[in-house]
Amino acid sequence: MSPLTKLTFSLSLLLGTTITISSNHWMLAWTGLEINTLAIIPFISKSHHPRAVEAAIKYFLVQATASALILFSSTINAQFTGQWDITQLTQPTASLLLTAAVAMKLGLVPFHFWFPEVMQGSPMITALLLSTLMKLPPITILFLTAPSLNPPLLTTMAIASAAIGGWMGLNQTQIRKILAFSSIAHLGWMTIILMYNPKLTMMTFYLYSMMTASIFLALNTTNSLKLPTMMTSWTKMPALNASLMLALLSLAGLPPLTGFLPKWLIIQELAKQEMSTTAMIISMLSLLGLFFYLRLAYCSTIPLPPNTVNFMKQWYNNKPTSASTATLISMSMLLLPLSPTILTIT
């Protein structure tokens, strides 16, 4: 892909995201989502590998279906209420259709099947965009329509996402698939609190994006795509691998790392809403995810693989880690003491 083409599609991604998150009209929001979908497809399929092309087609079909559902739900709402304002979603059928459409765009259970396959077929940086930037517009739509959504439906989808994300990630050896199921599980945490504290959902998304970006950039630097290659990459950049272990534990939500903050606040908010049983269930389900995070952390720092691998140990690389990767990893580990400031900002 030429630099000019890459710049064009990158600017289109930023434009589509900006249009959606800043719009108050359903047609503008839909336009931004379509620009986003069309701009990310060349990044997914740029390697021309059959798996990449398959991932691009799957992504296009799912996103086009979800966009059509969004347009359909907004048209139904406008027909009954005479309003095209996003915040005026008062028709029940339109609300249910919108919830299904946004869940499809995000990869929430039961519309999650496409997400791990698309992640596996994408390059590492494109997978990072799919996990973070591409989820911002749909989450913003959920944020704007939160008062009109169905609480039991969202809670059921959230608990199912936390369960499926943790359960399906246990049996994976491909790192991008593991991080895809991690994303599904984290979406469950964001969705469950959306009705009661939307700002907390956005804060959780920002912290998740930061931690996920640090992990993807570190894995991209060491060129680790599978657990066996991760086991042999410690000789290449030992300091980066040690930091990667802490970033993974932070994504798992272990104190005293940054990732503990959103889970702590979500459980606290659920307890305030007298949803202690729900808080207990989703906390127990997060232990499933903790298992594969610990396995990733173990593989990133192990000096000698426990079994024979078909990969040679890589040469030590004294090339310095990029400043963005180092900064993101540091923030992924050390933001918990600044939690009062973060809460004030959000």
Taken in order 242, 214, 252, 51, the sign of the CA dihedral is: negative
Percent of the residues in the chain that have a pLDDT greater than 70, as a whole number: 92
- The verdict on residue 143 lying in a domain is no
Q: What domain range is 77 assigned to?
A: 1-122
CA angle 263, 18, 28 (to 5 degrees): 110
CA distance 233 to 149: 46
Give yes or no: residues 21 and 154 share one domain: no
Give yes or no: residues 104 and 207 share one domain: no
- The verdict on residue 101 lying in a domain is yes
Q: Do residues 315 and 235 make contact, with C-beta atoms less than 8 angstroms apart?
A: yes
Q: 306 pLDDT exceeds 70?
A: no
Give yes or no: residues 323 and 184 share one domain: yes
Give yes or no: residues 83 and 171 share one domain: no
Question: For position 319, what pLDDT does the model report?
Answer: 57
- The verdict on residue 111 lying in a domain is yes
Domain termination residue (choose one: 102, 122, 142): 122
Query: Is residue 301 left, alpha or beta, with left meaning phi > 0 and alpha meaning psi from -120 to 50?
Result: alpha
Give yes or no: residues 17 and 101 share one domain: yes
Mean pLDDT, the chain, integer: 88
Query: What values do phi and psi take at 85, rounded to 5?
Result: -75, 135
Question: For position 336, what pLDDT does the model report?
Answer: 76
Query: What values do phi and psi take at 338, rounded to 5?
Result: -95, 15
Of the candidates 215, 190, 184, 187, the residue with the CA atom closest to the CA atom of residue 203:
190
Question: For position 311, what pLDDT does the model report?
Answer: 55
Give yes or no: residues 240 and 115 share one domain: no
Query: What values do phi and psi take at 226, rounded to 5?
Result: -130, 165
pLDDT digits (tens, 9 = 90+) for 316-344: 555 556 777 778 878 777 777 776 676 66
Q: 156 pLDDT exceeds 60?
A: yes
- The verdict on residue 138 lying in a domain is no
The position carrying tokens 């504290």 is 197
- pLDDT grade for 136, boundaries at 50, 70 and 90: very high
How many domains does the chain contain in total?
Answer: 2
Of the candidates 204, 339, 334, the residue with the CA atom closest to the CA atom of residue 267:
204
Min mean pLDDT across 37-41, 207-211, 238-242, 278-282 is at 238-242
Percent of the residues in the chain that have a pLDDT greater than 90, as a whole number: 61
Joined tokens for residue 258 = 């940054």
pLDDT digits (tens, 9 = 90+) for 112-129: 999 999 999 999 999 999
Min mean pLDDT across 28-32, 168-172, 187-191, 279-283 is at 168-172
pLDDT digits (tens, 9 = 90+) for 251-293: 998 888 888 999 999 999 999 999 999 999 999 999 998 988 9
Give yes or no: residues 330 and 222 share one domain: yes
Give yes or no: residues 170 and 292 share one domain: yes
Give yes or no: residues 70 and 184 share one domain: no
Query: Is residue 211 left, alpha or beta, with left meaning phi > 0 and alpha meaning psi from -120 to 50?
Result: alpha
> Residue-wise over 198-210: b if at least 16 C-beta within 10 A, else e?
bebbbbbbbbbbb
- The verdict on residue 127 lying in a domain is no
- The verdict on residue 141 lying in a domain is no
Min mean pLDDT across 36-40, 276-280, 305-309 is at 305-309
